[in-house]
Amino acid sequence: QTNVQNSSPRDRDGGREMKLFLITTLNGLTLAALYFLVASGFSLVFGLMRNVNLAHGSLFLLGAYIGYEVQQATGSWLLAVAGGFLSMAALGLLLQHYLFRFLEGQELRQTLVTIGISIIAADLMLAYWSGTTYQFEIPDALYGAIRGIPVIKVYPIYRLFILATAIVVGVALWLFLNRTKIGMMIRAGVDDRDMLSATGVNVHLIFALTFALGAGLAGLAGVVGGSALSIAPGEDLRYLLASLVVVIVGGMGSVAGSAIGAILIGLTEQYGLAYSPTYGVVYTFVIMVVVLAVRPQGIMGRSA
């Protein structure tokens, strides 16, 4: 108490500024983790397979709604996460088999069709779940805050859980794409699908499984993100735009690039809100413009 009373106003202001900076940094990293969870699936579909799926945000929101219904029926948050992932993976499998396989290489048609799907899906979700905001009940182990952290004192456990989840998913995706036979087949099929098909590999099946994984990650992110924030109409468009920016900045088809892009966008968004709220949204697109001007293929993207 004596130290606090004897401290100068400059010291107290400096302590508050440091606390604000550290909290903003953690908020930026945890927001980046959520963006990465959504963008990682989008990177697989859009960046790696070159399928323009602008209904990816709808998969995020629909997975969140289905996860919410699963939790209401079972009382289990873990089953809600599984429900969001598996339901969207199944839907992604259907989309790839019955739609995208017939639109391969037709980016304009893919864009128009998936925009139409997202509009229809948004209206159907609004009709069924209405405009009500829904909130998940997270497990007791993830509820509350960690105390005793230097400078910032306390911080929500669940936000740190999102960060840890994103790290696990990112490492698992990188290992899957670079250290497994299926991952190598996926990358080979993207580079030269005719040659891969000539070796006897079922390219359509490989791509369908990849699309299902990307869609499933969107559903998983819907439940995880909805547990941190909320589920409401309009979240599909928000996370679709975030995914687009992250993939463009980080580089098409690169998991590491998506992570870097998510960190840049998440931190920029939070720093902007904390220190310059009037122009906070602008900074995100400034980063995208600068990256495209200096390195059009993205930070970790490959040259065409």
Position 12 scores a pLDDT of 63
| 3-state SS class at 231 | strand
Q: Is pTM beyond 0.85 here?
A: yes
Instruction: Scan for tokens 């998936």, then name that residue.
Output: 114
pLDDT recorded at residue 1: 45
Q: What is the CA radius of gyration of the chain?
A: 21
Which two tokens mark 104?
A: 């391969």
CA distance 22 to 293: 31
Residue 219: name the closest of 121, 131, 301, 143 by CA.
121
For every residue of 141-179, DSSP letters joined together read GGSSEEEEETTTEEEEHHHHHHHHHHHHHHHHHHHHHHH
CB–CB of 76/203 below 8 Å? Answer: no
Terminal-to-terminal C-alpha distance of the chain: 63
pLDDT value at residue 7: 55
Tens-digit pLDDT profile for the chain (304 aa)? 444 455 566 666 677 889 899 999 999 999 999 999 999 888 888 767 778 889 999 999 999 999 999 999 999 999 999 999 999 999 999 999 899 888 887 889 999 999 999 999 999 999 999 989 999 999 989 988 998 888 888 999 999 999 999 999 999 999 998 888 888 888 777 677 778 778 888 888 888 888 999 999 999 999 999 998 889 998 999 898 988 899 889 988 788 899 999 999 999 999 999 998 887 778 888 999 999 999 988 898 776 5
Q: What angle do CA 95, 89, 73 make, to 5 degrees?
A: 120
219 and 84 Cβ atoms separated by less than 8 Å? yes
